[in-house]
Structure 1
Amino acid sequence: MSAIWFKAYSLEEVNHIFKKYMTGFLQIRATEITDNTLIAEMPITDMVRQPFGILHGGASVVLAESVGSVASNLVVDSEHFAGVGMEINANHLKSVSQGKVYASCSALHIGKKSHVWDIKIRNEAETLICVSRLTVAIIDRGSF
């Protein structure tokens, strides 16, 4: 099976994207890129905890949308197209209060105008803590 990415990307190239914007603030970084999966990690710090000391559900959604959006932008020719989040849902299954969480993102659908991603977030013990699905619209860069 061939890779889904527009070209071969290194972790350094992908992390250059993650270092910017909200993802940089939350210390999200890519740890692995395979032919069809992008994996990123996020440390659990006070910035992503809710008042009870556990990972904020919104932070899990930020992680899911970020890894899925970056994945879409690695699939398309970024000189001509951009992937932007259209819809996301998440089910928070277990809580976690320390360490890191890991988001594994794989495509359910790659079309010309939309992508649908399955994102699974696990803790360091590989326990599934959140499942998410992200729909990304593929737009012409000339439209914004």
Structure 2
Amino acid sequence: MNPDFTAEYANKFAKGTLPDHLNIRITEVGEGLCTADMEISRFHLAPNGFLHAGSVVTLADTACGLACFANLPEGANNFTTIELKSNHLGTAREGAITVSAKAVHMGRTTQVWDATVSDKSNGKTIALFRCTQMILYPKA
């Protein structure tokens, strides 16, 4: 793990990008893990008034992606998502949601991350998420 890739650094790194626009805040980055929160605003909702699945997926994907970036193997300089899947089990309309991303596989060419998104007020699971990242190396 890159010891300089702290939660504070991750939030600065994401400044001006989609996670920043959606008010996603990284709360912890560590070896094989990342946590984040997102306060729900009207723009996170679908027209039917429920939390938009895209908002939930973006929170989970952000935590997994930043965790991957912080935990790149030696010599790697980047990654790209090659697959993601989510199961939506509940929703929220207000308050905040939180995510905990954990490494399942941290190989030299791929990483697999699982994330659980929950309602911050009651701990109810809103979504389960898994993504696979392809690890990128500088061209020779």
Q: What's the TM-score once normalised by structure 1's chain length?
A: 0.88
Q: How does 1:1-144 map to 2 (within 5 A)?
A: 5-76=1-72, 80-124=76-120, 125-142=122-139
Aligned-partner Cα distance in 2 for 1:42–1:75:
23
SS in structure 2 at match of 1:121: strand
Question: What do residues 5-27 of structure 1 show as CA deviations (whole Å, max 9, x unaligned)?
Answer: 23253321121123231011001
Runs of at least 5 residues in structure 1 that lack an aligned partner in the other structure: none
Take 1:34 and 1:10, find their aligned partners in 2: how far apart are those partners?
8
Cα distance in 2 between the residues matched to 1:61 and 1:110: 21
Deviation of 1:32 (Å): 2.1
| Secondary structure in 1 matching 2:136 | strand
TM-score (norm 2): 0.90
Give aligned-pair identity as a percent: 26
Question: Contact 1:18–1:29 at 8 Å: present in 2 too?
Answer: no
Give how far 1:67 is off: 1.1
Q: Are 1:80 and 1:142, in contact at CA under 8 Å, matched by a contact in 2?
A: no
Separation in 2 of the partners of 1:77 and 1:7? 13
CA distance in 2, matches of 1:70, 1:59: 17
Conserved? CA contact 2:30–2:67, under 8 Å = no
- In angstroms, what is the RMSD of aligned CA positions? 1.9
Summarize the Cα distance change of 1:76–1:35 in structure 2 as closer, same or farther, 3 Å threshold.
Answer: closer
Quote the Cα distance in structure 2 between the aligned partners of 1:55 and 1:83. Answer: 28
2:46–2:52 Cα contact (<8 Å) kept:
yes
